Structures are given as structure tokens and as C-alpha cells.
A = this chain, B = another copy of it.
């Protein structure tokens, strides 16, 4: 069954919504718009995934994540998602260490990059699904070395694609965006909500 209440709130009903992600940011955003859900992170090795087309990359990984959780459940509406940063045609994932984080931020300095988030809604009982994605252009002002090392010292870049989180101290690095803000945080709320309300 569908889990849709009146207005902005969802009714958990008898079939739960399941977020197939361990990202606290995605959980926060879904709560923000009134969703109630379980969290059951997918077991997908993203390092072995090498699709070079950004949109296909996030769509396929979001599907793989939702599907992985769907495989071990008999019910539930599963939400999978994947976010990447693309600079000059190259996909930037999460930095392996502080040194790589510094190098990523130096590359992003003074330039516009793109953030892609793909998401998949999948019903565990019949495997019906819908996938979509959003892209947002993000511009960094020129950063100096002190700002970069000070930010990397916080540890915040380490679990984030492109080595920054627009919702943390690096907010001052971003002087403008073009598109959906929450897509940059890791989940495109407006597009997701629209797709969710139409999903049968």
C-alpha cells in the first residue's frame, strides 16, 4: 500500500518506508518534510562501480541500493539514493584521506562543479520502482590554503563526495548555486516529493 497522508505528512500505515542509506543528512531531510521511516543501510560496494556518465551513475547506484535492501525484505517502500560531485567531467567521490580532501578542495576552488543525486523508490512486495535524479550547479569562490586546511582539520570532508558538506562550515566556500539546494546536501527534496506523490 502507499504511505501517503494528507498534506505534507505521511502515514506509516502497515507497510513501512525504509531508507536504504546510513547518511544522517538524508534521514534529517526526510524527517524535515514529515516522513516516518525505518533505516536499513544497503550493502553495496560502491568502489567497484565505475559508470562514467554522471546521471547513469547515480541512477544505477540508487537502484542497486534500494534493490539490495528490497532483496532482504518482504514489505516496505524502499528509498535508495546516491550523490556525486562532477568537476570537468570527472566524478569526485569521498576522499580517501586528509591529503586527498585538500587536493579536491583546491581543485574545486574558484570553479563551478555539478552535484548529481539519483534516487529510487522500490516496493519490496512487487519490485515496482521509479528512479529519477537532480543536478545542481555549485560555484566555489577562490579559497586560500589556510581556509582549506582549517576545514579539512574538522574531519567533516571525509565522508562526503567532493570533500565538502554545504550544510557545515564549508557553507562560506559556496557563493552561489543554480538548482535545488537540498540536492547538494544529498537528497533533492522537491523532486523526490513530486515523484513520491505520483508513485503507484
The chain A residues found within 8 Å of chain B, CB to CB, are 6-9, 29, 32-34, 141, 146-147, 149-151, 153, 166-169, 171-182, 189-191, 193-194
Contacts and interface: CB of A to CB of B under 8 A. Distances in A.
- Tell me how many chains of this kind the complex includes: 2
Given A32-B169, A176-B180, A150 B193 contact: no
Given A181-B166, A181-B181, A172 B193 contact: yes
Contact of A178 (B29, B153, B168, B178): B178
Contacts of A7: 146-147, 149-151, 153
A150 B149 CA distance: 45
A133 to B, nearest CB: 14
A172 B141 contact: no
Contacts of A34: 169
A150 B10 CA distance: 12
A2 to B, nearest CB: 16
Contacts of A191: 175
B169 A33 contact: yes
A66 to B, nearest CB: 20
Given A169-B32, A179-B177, A151 B8 contact: yes
A148 to B, nearest CB: 9
A98 B189 CA distance: 25
